[in-house]
Structures are given as C-alpha cells and as structure tokens.
Chains A and B, each alone.
Chain A
C-alpha cells in the first residue's frame, strides 16, 4: 500500500507497464511468457515482488546491485584490448542484467541430472582416451575424432590423471519445443563459476527478501563440494592448492583472483612454480613449498614448455613429468580439452549407450562430422540450412572463424566452403541451427525478450558429480535468436532455481568445531612479495613527488616570499627533474614542471606514472588487496588525470596535489589498520620504508647544505611533514643542525630516516630465514649495520657525504632483499633446496 501512495500507480498498472509490448520473438520460445503471452506461473512470484516496487524503488535496487559490482571491481577483458604498461586498463565493468533467469526446481532436476550424466560420460571417455583406447578400438569413435584435436595431448597418454575431469560445464540453450540442448561442452578450464557467484551477490544486494520468499537454491554448497573434490585428489590431508592463472592480461583474471580468495587457494603464475626432484613447488619467501593440487585456468597445451607447447610462457617446465610421476594433481587433467571438440558430439549418444548403458538425458544439438562420407554428403546437400563450424579448436594458423551460417554467406564464399568440406571434411562439422529461447531484460522502463544461453557447472567430488544449482546466464543484445556465438555485446544474469521448501543458508565458513585455530595465513609466493614490495615503493614515490609538487606550487602562489625563495624553487624543480618527474629546459617554468610532475605519463617519475606502476603491480596481486584499497587506485588515477580543456591554475594544481596526498594517506591508513601483519604486509611496508628513507636522504642532501637558507630548510621540513614538530620543539626559525637531527636521526619522528631504519630492522628480523648454520642472511646483516650507524650518528657531523652513505646502504638493502626473496635471482646452488617442504 505504501508503494501505491508514493508512486501513484497501482500494482496492476505497473505490471501492465512492465509487460507492455513484451512479445516472444517469432519462432522462439520465451522463458517468461507462454505462446499466448501469459506470464508463466514460476515467474509470478518474481513479477509480484517487482510490481510491489515503484519505478524509483526499482531503479534504486538496481543501483545497489550496480554499486556492488562497481565496488568489488568485477570486470572482464575483451580480447585484444591490452595495454602492457597498465594491465587493468582494458578491463570493462561487468554488464549485469537485473532480471534473473527463473527455473522451477522440478525442471532443474532434469537439467542437473543431464549435466551430471554428461560430465560422467566425458570423464569416462577421457579416461579411456588417455588410457586403454577401447572406445576407438571398438569403433564407437573414429580415431580421427580424437587425433584431430590440438587438445589431445599425447605426452599425457598413460599418465595418472592425464585427462581427469574435475570441473565440467555445459552451455545449454532451449529450443522452440521446450527441450534443453547442449550447445557446447566445456572441459578444458571452464570459466564462469566466479561470475555466477558475483551475479548472485549483486542481486542479493538488490532483492534480499526475494531469495527467502522464493526459496532460491544457494550456491555456496557447490563451491564447498568443489573444494572438497580437489582436496580429495591429494595425498596430503591439508594439501596446498594453487590456482594457476595466465596472469592479469587474461580476459577473466578478475574471476580467477576472486575465486582464489573465495576458496582460499594460492593464486600463482607459471613463474611461481618450479619442478624439482619430480615434484612441483611454489617459490615462496620461505623457500620451495610443495604444490599438491593445481587448479589450472590455462589451456593444458600451455602448461609445460618442454613437453607441450614450446612457445608458452605461462607454464612450468617439467610439469608433465611431475604428472607422470603422480606427484601433483592437475584439475582438469592437462589433456581434458580433447572432449570439447564439436566433432565428438554426433557420436556421444552411441558412446553413452556403450559406456553408461544410458540414453542421454540432455541431447546435444544435431551434429554431423564431415570426416564420414555419409554425413559429409548430408551436410553438403543441406548446406544452406546448416551452421558450419570447425570440427576442432584450431591449432593456430588463423583458420578458426567460429561457426558460420552457410545460408547467409555470399555465393562465392559458400562455394569455397563447399569445396573445402569436400576436400578435407574431417576439419568441419555441420550443425543444426538452434533457435535460442528468450528471457526478459529490463530496458527503457519495461521488459524486452532477448536470446540467452545458460552455462551449468558440475564438479567431481568424493560423493559423485555435484551440479551448481544456478549458473552463468548470458544474454544477447541482438534480437536474432539464431545467434551462434554470444561473445559480442553480452550481458549476464543470475540464475534462480526455486525450491518447494525454504532453503537452508550455507556459507563457505566451516563449522566452528572442525577448524583448527591458525594465526599465520599461508605462505607468500616470491612473486607476490616482489609485487607488494614494489607497490609500497611506488606509492611512497608518488607521495614524495606530490610533496615536492605541493612545496613548489605553495611557494609559487605565496604572495609574501621569504629570503632565498628563488633558490628553493630552483632546487625543488631540479629535484623533480632528477627524479624523472619533469623536464629541464628554458621553456620549462617551475609551474610547467609541477604540472608534468603531477600528470605526465611520459615522465616515469611523475605522480601519475607512479600510480600507474603501483596499480600495475597491484593488479598482479589483486587477491591480496581489499576492495577498499583497490578502489583508492581508481580515485588516485582520476585525481591525477588532467581535466579536459584547460590547464589548472597554480592554486588549483596545489589543491589537486593536496587531495591526492589525502587519498594516499587513506591507503596508508588502510594498510596500517586493516592488513594482517603477515609477510605480505611486511613486504609492502618494507618497500614504503625503504623508499621513504631514500627519498628523505635525497631531500636532506638537496635542502640542508651547510649554507642552506631558512626557506630551504623550511622546504625540507615541509617535504618531511615535520613543521609542526619542529615548531613545537624550537622557538626560533629553522636552523641546520636541529632540522637535520629531526629529519635524519630522530627515531621518534615517523618521517625521519632513523624511524624508517628502525622499522626496517624490526620487519627484516621477522622474515623467514633459509640458513641452517645460524649465520645472518644478507638483508639482516646490512640493516643491523645501518641501524648501528644511524643510532650512533650526530647531527653536527652529518654532511652530504655521510647522508649519501646512508642512502647507498638503504639501496644495498633493497637489492639484498630482491636477491634473497624475489624471483629474478635464483641464488647459489643448493640454497633453494634447503627450504623444501
């Protein structure tokens, strides 16, 4: 009733408005309404709830979902949309459709049974292909249907788990007759589980009560089973499970990082893994740690540059051997992609009868492999009515055009295709053209029908195949229901499977009595440590540049210049040039230098360039950063992007630098207050402390020479944020030795070099040691020496040379940390083996 008063429209009127003009596409079935245009009963509860909301309320709910999508940074990448310098640049926000696909529980039973059956069938088939090969020998499947696939990985033949299926997905479409059909099998490394989860969370944000009132099946149990399935594959009770990603340039990197965090797996790239003594290890800061199970999101062929694709930079040299030795379980088995071939589809009904003694519950779309004479002739006879597709994923060579509708081709191309099929039919399949069903999408204030496909997932678990009650629904923007690929212009939506009874909520949190208390969070891979360290350094570098810019602009807009002002301005400009933030030259006024130090992406030391680098390093370790922290990068980047049109005034630029510094302070606050003091935080902080120590030494050398003016010393106090402290301690204006003591040697001043050194000393002491002989490792040895030097130093004896020495020792510690903990150097022989776990 409330809604009625506010909106001034009745429920019935809203319903009429939503449904206005909703007509199924010709020849296609619609999920939402029947042929007469009546809303199907299982959508009624949903529609009722929607109609209870006014248009404003509805849009407000959508806003909640969209904000969730924006805040978690859900994104995907479009192929070819890549900027090496800024991996997160080509990411697109996730296009969420706010109308879920509703499927009644009874109907879902059939889909789930069909997908589980198919998973079992393909799994059995894979075991046979990489094992005894009886299905081919018995003539149920021509050998050429297997051997033509570039994903048939011969080195895996006979290897344990060579083709084991752990996660399977089927892309389904519903035909005009109401039956669900399998359009495509996904057995390589199916994507979409994470996106399905994200869609669910976003819609839960928008319509929390509907999930209760409509008894919608939850997804968490599926992920729990999936994880249990992976754990069960290991010989160890608490296995180390890695998610092997192709890296941040991959189109679904976000999903991988998200799933790694959600499931508690270690996100690794090929370079993080090392094969030694027949086993796969993760290279961590504490040495080599065994990887027991690898959930791969790279194609099997790319997994080992030695025995598989030599061109691959994504894999691990020797991985196939580790698989053969049975020392690591890879999910899906490296060779699993072979059953994705379209050529296979036409044979599956007969194979199912033979292997399972069952008929397929879900049929696949009618497929004729043109490697057989009768089928080839049938396809050529009816070419115009068919969709023609490559029989196998192309091995590369640019022939993979994807499916085409032969009838839509110009005559010359159609005849060329005919000739190719006649000559090498085994490379092609003909498939019946599917007319997909449509579902509603909210557009311009009402609902419209759009074609859709549904990806359903099944996971192998100790209790058999478990199917995710829901899925990943993709919606086309084209009204053509024959659309054969939904890659372009797609939206996606949540899938609601309704149960008859209320659904018990379940999250991934285990029951309290079964979980052992733990205070250390896993092991930190060397690559992650490296990136966190550099993230810290770039952020601090950005901060230092911003402080320089602010100090410079503050002096330019000051109407009452102090003595020595022009010298200070020159020095500030010189330092910007020395840092690579700005250019030198006659045309470069101090103000121009300040602008380029803020904005210029061509000057590697500018604040904008440092943020770009920080974001690049962060994007590689996204699973380790909170959503809030990630959002700050976006804020910083937009603050440091010049607005269209005109150059800001000096005063405005000052404000911009000031605001960006506040955003950075927010990041520091987050990392200080919200990050667990594990090894990850430690490397981030070490990076910041080193950079700040080095920067402060440089400031001191530039502004605290023996004959430095009061203005110059003031600048040093500004740059180190120490004005207030200085004034509270000393009544007189800035003078050399007290300033130097405060900036360099005072361990109580959090901006001083001494303070950074003390923090570094404490943090380096907490890093893991690999030596067993009781000797100090290089980073520790160097910091202890520097700390002693610093504690015993006196301000009266500090000069450019001794400050430079501090600076160099700090740089030395930076290299020692890189040598010891990061990947670029592997250290002397044997030193890595001591850490084997």
Chain B
C-alpha cells in the first residue's frame, strides 16, 4: 500500500515570540515494513538554523532555531511511503510470556532495537500497581505471549472509552487508567505499563492510520490526527509486533510509523522552548490518502 501523508501543525501565540528553538520528530522513519519514498518538512517562519539528524532509536529529528519575531508558527510535513508488512505470527505459536521476559532481561545488546530499553518504567510510563494487576489477568502461566497480549489489547478496547475530551498530553497514566477514558496515547501507555510491569519489553509508536476506510468497513478511531500504539517484543525469532489497543488491531498495512520510543516523551512530534510570555493555540490537520 502506498500512502500520501500530510500533517500540518499551527501554533498561534497571543504575543510576539522573538526566539524559539524547536525539535520535531515528524518525518517518518524507514524500516519495520515501510519505506519512505520522499518526505519533506517545512517550517514558517524560516528558521535561522536547521539541522536534521537521527536520534538514538533511529527516529528522524529536525532541530530548528527561529530568530524572526513571529505570532504564528506553521510546520508542514509531507511524505509518500509504501507499507508492506509481513503477516503477523499466529498468536498461539509465539513463545510463553515468561520465557520472553527472561530473554529480554538477559539481553547482551544495548543497540537501539534491543528489547532491553523497553522493560523498565520510563518518564511517562511509571510502574502503576493497578495497571499491572489489570494486565496480569490475561497472562496465565506459560501462555503464548502474543495471545495473552492480544487479549489484553481487546480488554482495553472493551473496558475503556475513547474520548478526546477526557485527557490531555499531560494527564498521568494512573489517572487515565482510573477514569477508563482517554485517547490513543493513553491506551498505548496503559498497555505498555501493563506489559512492562510483567517484565515484557513494550515500546511506544507514534504515527498515522489510514483516514478513508476500505469500502464496506467502518472508519477507524484516531484518523485525522496523529495516532499511537504499542510494540511488543515477542522473542528473537518474531521480534517486534505492533498492537493497537485503540482499535483492537494487530498492526498491518493500515498503520504508518513515524517514530518509536519508550513513551510519548521520546517521540513527541513537536517540542519547543521559546522566549516570550503569552498563551498559545494549536491547530492540527492530518490527511492520510492511499494512492495505490
């Protein structure tokens, strides 16, 4: 599947901002079943300094310094990419979850793709006892890891209400869990917290999901905005598998990966430090169009 993605973010400030330094993780990464054919990121006003690099986890990272006083900052990302993932393994045939946890813990690699980076609490995914207890229900002794995780994903989808008004980026995980409300980001964090609490390596993915459903199918949650889900490491043979608790889906060709990290904080699409007091308004528009 080939997609055209356009993601426009606009910040409006109540007062003139004379200086801003921003970091953007908006350009999609290659690999894990997708290849980026072309991509560009434009920033208005034009930055005085700009550098493009890859972060530790291999995500693309653009840093800009804007020295022109401005009241609006507009960031536009356009990309064309093809997505062709290999079929996910049969959940019942994956390794037992305890074995996967033990293998991850014994890892002898600090390379970016190593599961070792994803078994501990992280900034936005602390260990929350209630979440781990919730997850544990699905993890009976010796159960295949993907089977158990798929059940956890289905339970989150069932027990939680998708509600964009319920939470903000800053809502702590424990609070979203207690309320049983949230958006894709909260669900991904909760799923990750549950898996990590059991010692399983779970990562956070930011990206998109196709906006227009194939004929006869219903529209997926999280379209028209950036999306988020979890990755679970299922052992050295299977590697990482995407699990989308917002839609109760094992990730296939409907998902486009932008960045992978331990949680939202590692992959925040746009982060900045500006000089100048005042409030800001954010507008986001996302189009994901399948072109063949």
**Partner-B contacts on A (CB < 8 A):** 129, 133, 136-137, 139, 142-144, 146-148, 154-155, 157, 275-277, 305-307, 309-310, 317-318, 321, 371, 392, 395-397, 399, 423-424, 426-427, 825-830
Contacts and interface: CB of A to CB of B under 8 A. Distances in A.
Contacts of A155: 55-56
A654 B7 CA distance: 70
A317 B273 contact: yes
Contacts of B119: 144, 147-148, 426
B166 interface: no
A371 B110 contact: no
Given A306-B21, A310-B265, A143 B108 contact: yes
A318 B275 contact: no
Given A147-B114, A426-B120, A829-B68, 7 more contacts: A133-B111, A136-B110, A143-B109, A147-B120, A321-B63, A825-B18, A826-B19
B106 interface: yes
B10 interface: no
B203 to A, nearest CB: 12
Given A136-B109, A142-B107, A155-B56, A275 B21 contact: yes
B108 A371 contact: no
Interface in B114-161: 114, 116-117, 119-123, 126-128
12 contacts: A133-B109, A137-B108, A144-B105, A147-B110, A154-B117, A276-B65, A277-B49, A310-B271, A395-B121, A396-B123, A397-B126, A424-B199
Contacts of A277: 49
A829 B67 contact: yes
A399 B127 contact: yes
B114 to A, nearest CB: 6
A826 B18 contact: yes
B240 to A, nearest CB: 16
B56 A143 contact: no
B123 A395 contact: yes
Contacts of A826: 18-19, 275-276
B114 A424 contact: no
Contacts of B122: 395
B100 to A, nearest CB: 14
Contacts of B127: 397, 399, 424, 427
B162 interface: no
B120 A318 contact: no
A133 B51 CA distance: 27
Interface in B69-92: 69
B105 A829 contact: no
Nearest to A833: B67
Nearest to B129: A420
A396 B273 contact: no
B105 A142 contact: yes
Given A395-B121, A397-B126, A424-B197, A143 B114 contact: yes
A133 B110 contact: yes
B67 A827 contact: no
Nearest to A307: B23
Contacts of B265: 310
A641 B116 CA distance: 58
A146 B110 contact: yes
B268 interface: yes
A457 B197 CA distance: 38
B: contact size bracket: 35 or more
B108 A139 contact: yes
Contact of B51 (A139, A321, A829): A321
Contacts of A318: 21, 63, 65
B13 interface: no
Nearest to A148: B120
Interface string B262-274: 0001001001110
B67 to A, nearest CB: 5
A305 B104 CA distance: 30
Given A276-B65, A395-B126, A317 B19 contact: no
Given A317-B21, A829-B67, A829-B69, A154 B108 contact: no
Contacts of B273: 305-306, 317
A390 to B, nearest CB: 11
A129 B110 contact: yes
Nearest to B174: A397
Interface string B1-20: 00000000000000000110
Interface in B245-286: 265, 268, 271-273, 275-276
Contacts of A146: 110, 116
Contacts of B65: 276, 318
Nearest to A399: B127
A828 B108 contact: no
Given A143-B108, A397-B121, A828 B51 contact: no
A144 B63 contact: no
B57 A827 contact: no
B199 A154 contact: no
A97 B162 CA distance: 61
Contacts of B114: 143, 147
A829 B114 CA distance: 45
A396 B110 contact: no
Given A143-B108, A143-B116, A309 B21 contact: no
B15 to A, nearest CB: 12
A829 B46 CA distance: 13
A318 B49 CA distance: 12
A426 B116 contact: no
A402 to B, nearest CB: 17
Given A147-B117, A321-B51, A309 B123 contact: yes
B106 A142 contact: yes
Contacts of B63: 306, 318, 321
A144 B201 CA distance: 11
B109 A137 contact: yes
Most B CB atoms within 10 A — which of A129, A397, A423, A825?
A397
Most A CB atoms within 10 A — which of B63, B119, B121?
B121
B116 to A, nearest CB: 4
B190 to A, nearest CB: 15
Given A146-B110, A397-B126, A830 B67 contact: yes
B105 A426 contact: yes
Contacts of A306: 21-23, 63, 271-273
